[in-house]
Chain A
Amino acid sequence: MEQFQVHGAAKRRASGHRRQVITGANASGNLEVLVERVLPDLECQVEVATAVTGFRPIWEAVIKEFFERTSPGGLRFSINDGGARPDTVTLRLMQSVQLMEDKA
C-alpha cells in the first residue's frame, strides 16, 4: 500500500453547491473517488491510497494534468485505488468533478 498527496493551485472555485460525492468502486482495475468541498477556493488536493506501488510519477502527472484541465478549486479528492490504469483514473476524476459541479 502506497499513500501520498498531490496539492495544486486552482484558478477558480469549482462551481455548484454539492458538499460531497462518491463515485466508482474499489475493485480490481477500478477505483473509488470521494470528493469533498472542504478546501479554500483556490486550492485543490488529491490523496491517493493505492495497492500498486511504483507508479507515483505517473499518478502525479495524471493529477497535475487533471488540475490544469478542470481547475477544481476548493475540492479534496480521496482515491481508493484497486490497480486502475491512468485512463480510468482520469475518467473517474473528471466524472467526479462533473458530479460536484452538477446543478442538481
Chain B
Amino acid sequence: MRDWQKQRSERSARLNAGSHYASGKMVPPDKAKAFLEAVIRPGDRVCLEGDNQKQADFLAEVLADVDRSRIHDLHIVQSGIVLQAHLDLFERGIARKLDFSYSGPQGAALARALAAGKIELGAIHTYIELFARYFMDLTPHVALIAAVQADRDGNLYTGPNTEDTPTIVEATAFKSGIVVAQVNKVVDKLPRVDIPADQVDFIVEADKPFYVEPLFTRDPASVTESQILMAMMAIKGIYAEYDVKRLNHGIGFPTAAIELLLPTYGEQLGLRGKIATHWALNPHPTLIPAIESGWVEQIHSFGSEVGMDDYMSARSDVYFTGHDGSLRSNRLLCQTAGLYACDMFIGSTLQIDIAGNSSTVTPGRIAGFGGAPNMGSDPRGRRHPSAPWLKAGREASDGQGTLTRGRKLVVQMLETFGEKMKPNFVERLDSIELAEKLNFDLAPVMIYGDDVSHIVTEEGIANLLLCRSPAEREQAVRGVAGFTDVGRARNRNAVEALRQRGIIRRPEDLGINLLAASRQLLAAHSIKDLVTWSGGLYQAPSKFRNW
C-alpha cells in the first residue's frame, strides 16, 4: 500500500521538532539556531528570503551559523544573493547548490565562489522564471521570510516591501513546507494582513528591523549632459513616435534623466497625457516631479524604495496601497505586468555586441538578471493590441503578411564608453568567456539581440526593427557605437545609407538642439529638489543627504 501522505507526515514531524523551541508559533531569538537545526534537514531546498530589496537578514545570519554536521548540502532557491551571510552558507558547506536571479552587491564574491567550486550553480533566472519553478521543480521545503509585523496568531504585515513574500509562501505552505517569518515586532493588531496566519508556522521577533537596500535612488546631481542628450532623443524619437503610454524603466541614470525631463522637455513637446502614463516601476524618487506635474496616471511596483513611504501613502491615486494607506508591492505580479501589459521596456546595460546582444556580466562579476530579461523580451503569448505594439510589429515585418503580430519595444540605452574609458560596445561579450571558464551550459545574456528594438547612445538611435539582414543590424549597431573600436570599424557608406532610411537617427535628424542638452533642463538638480517637489513627503536616505 503506497503512502500518499509522506509530505504531510514529514511536515508534522518538523512542526513537532520545531515546537520544542517555540511557545505556540513564537520562537525566542536566542533559540532560533536550535530551532532551525530542528526544522531544516540536510539536502532541503530552502528559500532564505533575499529579495531585490528586503532581506531576512536575522534568519540568514542564524542559518549561516548552524552546526554543519546537522545541516548541510542545502539547495538555496531565492531571488537575491545580496548579503555576506548568503555566501557564508556556501563557504561553510551548509549549502551546496544555488538557483537564483540577482546578485548585485555580491556579484564579485559570487564569481569567486563559483570559480573556487564552492557553489554548484543550478541556473541564473529572471524573477518570474525562478518563481515559476517554485511551483514546478524548485518548491522550497522551508521558507525563511521577512515581514514588518506579526500579530499573535501569526498573520503578517509586510509593509511596503511585500516583494516576493506572497509567492514564496504560496509555494511552500501549499506543498506541506514550513514557513518561518522574522518580524520587526509582534503586535496585537496589524495595520493590514498581507500573509494570513494559517500559512505561517513560526515567528521570530528579530533584534533589529530587517535590512532594505535603497536601490532605485538616483541623485539628479550625477546626471550628465550626454545622458540628458540621450534622454531627449529617447523621448522625441521613441516615446513620442510610438505613443508609448505603458512602460517600465530600468534603474540606470539615462532613464532617471528621462524621468527628470518629462515635466520640462516632454512638456515643451506637448506630450503630457500622451506618453508615459501607466507604469510597472519601483518607486523611483526621480519620477516625483513628473507625478507632481500631472504626467502619471498609475504605478504598480515590484518593491518599495527607502524614504518614499509617506509620499506614496499621500499619492494613493497613483500607487497601489492597502486600506491602511501604505504601499502594497508584489514582484511576481508587477513582473507579469511588465511582461504582458507594458508596450516598452527601456533600460541601461553594460555591454552590447555587434548583434545587439546585451549583458551585465563583466570580468569577475556575475550580477545576475533580476527582471530585465523578462521585461526586456517580446512576449510571444501576448494577444491584446495597442498602438505602439502594432507599429513596432509593422516595422519589424516590413508590412508583409496579413497576420502581422505586434512587437514589444525593447530599448537599450548606454553611453559608448563606461568607467575608465572601457568601451561598452564589444565584438564578443565578456559573458561568453566567463561561461567557458566556469563551464556554464549557457552564457548569461541579459537581453538577446533579436528582442532589442532600439539602441540609444549619445551618437544616436539605432532602430533594429527596421533592419532586414544581420549585416544591416551589425552596421546599425556600429553606427551608434561612437569612437569605440566597434564604432570605428563601421562601413561609413553603409551607415550613411541606414541614416537615409531612418534606421539610424542623429540628434540633428530628430531636430534636437545640442545646446538644449544642458543640466538646466532637468526638473530637479539634486535630491533636495526632489524633497521639495514632494512637499517634504519624500524622506531621502541619509547617504543621499548632503544639505
List, sorted by A's number, 5 A–B pairs whose CB atoms are closer than 8 Å: A85-B226, A85-B415, A87-B416, A91-B226, A98-B515
- With A29-B224, A52-B421, A87-B416 given, name 19 new contacts (CB 8 A): A55-B421, A58-B421, A61-B483, A61-B488, A65-B483, A85-B226, A85-B415, A85-B417, A86-B482, A86-B483, A87-B417, A87-B459, A88-B224, A88-B225, A88-B226, A90-B458, A90-B482, A95-B514, A99-B515
Give every chain A residue within 8 A of B225 (Cβ-Cβ).
Answer: 88, 91
Residues of chain B lying within 8 A (CB to CB) of residue A98: 513-515
The 7 closest A-B pairs by CB, nearest first: A87-B458, A87-B226, A86-B483, A85-B417, A94-B514, A95-B514, A61-B483
Q: Mark B268-279, 1 if CB is under 8 A from A, else 0.
A: 000000000000
Q: Mark B160-172, 1 if CB is under 8 A from A, else 0.
A: 0000000000000
Within 8 A of A (CB), among B387-431: 415-417, 421
Q: Are B458 and A91 in contact (CB under 8 A)?
A: yes
Instruction: Look across to chain A and name the residue whose beta carbon is closest to the beta carbon of B419.
Output: A85
Does B48 count as interface, using CB distance less than 8 angstroms?
Answer: no
Contact A85/B421 with A29-B224, A61-B483, A91-B226 known, Cβ cut-off 8 Å: yes
- Bitwise interface map of B from 474 to 498 toward A, beta carbon under 8 Å scored 1, else 0: 0000000011000010000000000
Determine whether B229 belongs to the interface, using a CB cutoff of 8 Å to chain A.
Answer: yes
**Interface residues as binary, A43-71 with B (CB distance below 8 Å gives 1, 0 otherwise):** 00000000010010010011001000000
**Distance, CA A94 to CA B488, complexed state (A):** 19
Interface of chain A: mostly helix, strand, loop or mixed: helix
Instruction: Give CA–CA (A29, B482) in the complex, Å.
Output: 17
Shortest Cβ distance from A59 into B: residue: B483
> Does B517 lie at the interface of the complex (its beta carbon under 8 Å from any beta carbon of A)?
yes
Q: How far is the CA of A25 from the CA of B285 in the complex (A)?
A: 28
Taking CB atoms, residues of chain A closer than 8 Å to B415 are: 85, 87
Q: What residues make up the interface of A, taking CB atoms closer than 8 Å to B?
A: 29, 52, 55, 58, 61-62, 65, 85-88, 90-91, 94-95, 98-99
Most buried by A among B417, B459, B483, B514: B483
Identify the B interface with A (CB < 8 A). 224-226, 229, 415-417, 421, 457-459, 482-483, 488, 513-515, 517
Contact A86 B224 (CB under 8 A): no
Report the minimum CB–CB distance from A19 to chain B (whole Å).
19
Q: How far is the CB of A42 from chain B (nearest CB, A)?
A: 23
B483 touches A58 (CB 8 A): yes
Closest to A58 in B: B483
Which of A29, A87, A91 counts the most chain B CB atoms within 10 A?
A87
CA–CA, A11 and B482, complex, Å: 24
CA of A63 to CA of B479 in the docked complex: distance in angstroms?
18
Q: Which of A61, A85, A94, A99 has the most CB of B within 10 A?
A: A85
With beta carbons under 8 angstroms apart, the residue of A29, A52, A62, A91 that contacts B483 is: A62
In whole angstroms, how far apart are the Cα atoms of A52 and B420 in the complex? Answer: 10
Q: Is the CB of A87 within 8 A of B421?
A: no
Q: Give the distance to chain A from B142, nearest Cβ to Cβ, in Å.
A: 48
**Complex: how many Å from CA A88 to CA B225?**
8
For residue B514, which residues in chain A have a CB less than 8 angstroms away from its CB? Answer: 91, 94-95, 98
- CB-CB < 8 A to B417: which residues of A? 85-87
Q: B416 to chain A: closest CB distance in Å?
A: 6
- Give every chain B residue within 8 A of A87 (Cβ-Cβ): 226, 415-417, 457-459, 482
Q: How far is the CA of A88 from the CA of B518 in the complex (A)?
A: 12
Closest to A99 in B: B515
> Which of B458, B488, B515 contacts A95 (CB under 8 A)?
B515
Q: Do A86 and B416 touch across chains, with their CB atoms under 8 A apart?
A: yes
Chain B residues within an 8 Å CB radius of A29: 224
Expressed in whole angstroms, the minimum distance between the Cβ of A90 and any Cβ of chain B is: 7
Residues of B contacting A91 in the complex (Cβ-Cβ under 8 angstroms)? 225-226, 229, 458, 514, 517
- Tell me how far the C-beta of A54 lies from the nearest C-beta in chain B, rounded to whole angstroms: 9
- Please indicate the chain A residues that have their CB under 8 angstroms from the CB of B482 in the complex: 86-87, 90
CA A62 to CA B459, docked complex, whole Å: 12
> B370 to nearest A CB, angstroms?
26
Question: Which residues of the other chain, B, contact A88 by a CB distance below 8 angstroms?
Answer: 224-226
Alpha-carbon gap, A95 to B514, bound state (A): 6
In the bound complex, residues from chain A placing their C-beta under 8 Å from that of B458 are 87, 90-91
